[in-house]
Amino acid sequence: MSDENLQPVFQIQRVYLKDVSLEQPNSPTIFLEQEAPNMEVAVDVGAEPLADGIFESTVTITVTAKIKDKVAFLVECKQAGIFEARNIPAEQLDPLLGIGCPNIVYPYLRANIADLITRAGFPPVHLSEINFELFYQQRLQALAEQQGQQGQQAGGAGIVMPDGSQAKH
């Protein structure tokens, strides 16, 4: 094998809108409200292998806008990208899929959400930048804590039943 066959390869094959949903449960009366809506934004990131060296990376954003206790709109949008990633060391592949790919996909998602909300009759919502590196680190930490807790529970303390009692082995 020549050295060039082992060179790291990373390239975008395609970026696409995978799923979108818009709900306006209180239209048209919600348009009569004078207050600006309160926004809640939830973010999720995912990645899965499609073929050897080919991965799909997804970023999902859910925006819920409420005026008082009424939902003005709820938008959920999933933007995805297909990436080729070959000859990349294993310890670098996970951060690439969890940080690098979402950084590429997210601007498309932001534009699609702003467009969708405007087309729904509301003022555009411009989502702020997301620090996917920090998001990735927080997810790793949460996963480690979750695995640590599972390890402690498996330490012979018995199984915790739904009613809070413990069943002994």
CB neighbours (10 Å) of residue 70? 13
Report the CATH number at residue 98.
Answer: 3.10.420.10
Residue 164 lies in a domain: no
Q: Which domain holds residue 122?
A: 3-155
Per-position DSSP letters for 15-80, written without gaps between them: EEEEEEEEE-TTTTGGGG--SPPEEEEEEEEEEEEEETTEEEEEEEEEEEEEETTEEEEEEEEEEE
Report pLDDT digits (tens) over 148-157. Answer: 877 655 444 3
Does residue 121 form part of some domain? yes
Q: What is the mean pLDDT of the chain?
A: 87
Residue 62's contacts (CB-CB under 8 Å, 6 or more residues apart) are: 41, 42, 74, 75, 76
Domain assignment of residue 17, yes or no = yes
Q: What are phi and psi of 128, to 5 degrees?
A: -75, 165
pLDDT tens column, 26-56: 999 999 998 989 999 999 999 999 999 999 9
Q: Is residue 56 part of a domain?
A: yes
Number of domains the chain contains: 1
Q: What's residue 61's pLDDT?
A: 97
